[in-house]
């Protein structure tokens, strides 16, 4: 397996989070907790574990809390140390040092493609990874690392794929192509949110991508598509038409933390993995059964 040379990751967290209103009026959805940490921390940790060392957060007005979270808080650390809460002080410091992040600001929520394009000056000509702030994936090998391995061998763009129930294709970017491995597809077409009758398959793109630097030039030419937004899928479709797109059905479990039930499901999953919480969660599940 070739080691990936990709070091940059773009994390677009500038969306409005309408599926989570009203809380997202004042709190970024990426900061909603999975147990005791914001979902975005799990995604940043995934990137770091996969060797991505230069993280670019694409933020918007009202998303400052996300940026603060990944910086140090010396006053808080000092207070915790002075009051003997050394364990907590270490944890707070660890999160502040998890990654070096730079931020770019998307002035208007014009779509995911536009958000990625906002990072162009920070990305330059380099190939880069994209991790969406509301797709949490629990995997033995980081999902983005699995994609980076494919990219090191094949180049082009690599997207994460997941089969979805056929009646849900209208919520995702959907691909069609030729299967070239147990989990790998050479993508021929990509369609953003097709109604089931128009979907080329039920293999849908979820929030992990490895992209070539030149996608920025393609995005600069991409016109608004479905919903009037500049769609990343439309730019990727250009690469697919050139035979330069691959899709990997990654190994791992994905949680859509951008809606209420998805976040609840993620909370149950991660709580059951924590020895100090698992028994309590099982007791709760029993208590609520049949209500
Ligand atoms: P979503 O459509 O899931 O996020 O976009 P949203 O727009 O925040 O949420 P809803 O649908 O209104 O509830 C996928 C990802 O793209 C980012 C979002 O933050 C999310 O991580 N995004 C989307 C941007 O950064 N900018 C945009 O203009 C749109």
DSSP string, 41-73: HHHHHHHHHTT--EEEEEE-TT-HHHHHHTS--
Q: What whole-number distance in Å separates Cα of residue 30 and Cα of residue 44?
A: 11
Centre a 10 Å sphere on the Cβ of residue 249 and count the other Cβ atoms it contains: 16
Parallel/antiparallel/unpaired status of strands 157-163 and 128-131:
unpaired
Which residues are bridge partners to 227 per DSSP?
none
Q: Provide the whole-model pTM.
A: 0.95
Domains and CATH numbers, the chain: 8-281 (3.90.550.10)
**65 near 31, Cβ under 8 Å?**
yes
Q: Ligand 1 centroid vs 20 CA: distance in angstroms?
A: 11
Q: Ligand 1 centroid vs 90 CA: distance in angstroms?
A: 32
**129 near 210, Cβ under 8 Å?**
yes
Centre a 10 Å sphere on the Cβ of residue 75 and count the other Cβ atoms it contains: 8
Q: What whole-number distance in Å separates Cα of residue 212 and Cα of residue 214?
A: 5
Ligand 1 binding pocket mutation candidate from 258, 259, 262 (most atoms within 8 A of CB):
258
Average pLDDT value for the chain: 96
User: Is ligand 1 within 6 A of the CB of residue 215?
Assistant: no
For residue 286, the surrounding DSSP H or E stretch is helix 275-288
Q: From atom 15 of ligand 1, which residue's Cα is the shortest distance away?
A: 132
Q: Ligand 1 centroid vs 16 CA: distance in angstroms?
A: 6
List pLDDT tens digits, range 104-135.
Answer: 999 999 999 999 999 999 999 999 999 999 99
Q: From atom 9 of ligand 1, which residue's Cα is the shortest distance away?
A: 17
User: Is ligand 1 within 6 A of the CB of residue 114?
Assistant: yes
pLDDT at 86: 96
Q: Is 188 helix (H, G, I), strand (E, B) or coil?
A: strand
Q: What does the radius of gyration of the chain's CA atoms come to, in whole angstroms?
A: 19
User: Is ligand 1 within 6 A of the CB of residue 28?
Assistant: no
User: Is ligand 1 within 6 A of the CB of residue 258?
Assistant: yes
Backbone angles phi, psi at 181, to 5 degrees: -165, 175
State the closest ligand 1 atom to the C-alpha of 110, by its place in the atom list counted from 1: 28
State the closest ligand 1 atom to the C-alpha of 108, by its place in the atom list counted from 1: 28
Q: Ligand 1 centroid vs 211 CA: distance in angstroms?
A: 19
> Which DSSP symbol is given to 133?
T
pLDDT at 1: 60
Q: Ligand 1 centroid vs 17 CA: distance in angstroms?
A: 6
For residue 122, the surrounding DSSP H or E stretch is helix 120-123
Q: Which two tokens stand for residue 64?
A: 């400052």
List pLDDT tens digits, range 146-201.
Answer: 999 999 999 999 999 999 999 999 999 999 999 999 999 999 999 999 999 999 99
User: Is ligand 1 within 6 A of the CB of residue 119?
Assistant: no
Q: Which two tokens stand for residue 90?
A: 């270490």
Centre a 10 Å sphere on the Cβ of residue 82 and count the other Cβ atoms it contains: 9
Q: Predicted confidence band at 285 (pLDDT cuts at 50, 70, 90)?
A: very high
């Amino acid at each position: 397996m070739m080691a990936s040379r990709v070091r940059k990751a773009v994390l677009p967290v500038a969306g409005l989070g309408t599926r989570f209103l009203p809380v997202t009026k004042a709190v970024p959805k990426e900061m909603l907790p999975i147990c005791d940490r914001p979902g975005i921390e799990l995604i940043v940790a995934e990137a770091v574990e996969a060797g991505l060392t230069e993280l670019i957060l694409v933020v918007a007005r009202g998303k400052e809390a996300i940026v603060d979270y990944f910086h140090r808080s010396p006053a808080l650390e000092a207070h915790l140390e002075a009051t003997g809460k050394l364990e907590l002080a270490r944890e707070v410091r660890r999160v502040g040092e998890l990654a070096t992040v730079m931020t770019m600001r998307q002035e208007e929520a014009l779509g995911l493609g536009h958000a990625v394009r906002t990072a162009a000056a920070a990305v330059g000509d380099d190939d880069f990874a994209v991790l969406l702030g509301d797709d949490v994936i629990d995997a033995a090998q980081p999902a983005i690392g699995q994609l980076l391995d494919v990219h090191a061998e094949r180049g082009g763009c690599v997207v994460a794929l997941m089969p979805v129930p056929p009646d849900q294709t209208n919520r995702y970017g959907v691909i069609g192509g030729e299967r070239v491995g147990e989990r790998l597809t050479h993508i021929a077409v990509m369609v953003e949110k097709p109604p089931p009758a128009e979907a080329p398959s039920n293999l849908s793109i979820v929030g992990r991508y490895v992209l070539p630097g030149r996608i920025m030039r393609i995005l600069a030419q991409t016109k608004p598509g479905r919903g009037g937004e500049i769609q990343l899928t439309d730019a990727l479709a250009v690469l697919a038409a050139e035979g330069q797109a691959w899709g990997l059905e990654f190994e791992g479990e994905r949680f859509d933390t951008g809606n209420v039930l998805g976040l609840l499901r993620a909370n149950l999953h991660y709580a059951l993995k924590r020895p100090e919480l698992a028994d309590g969660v099982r007791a709760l599940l029993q208590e609520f059964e049949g209500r």
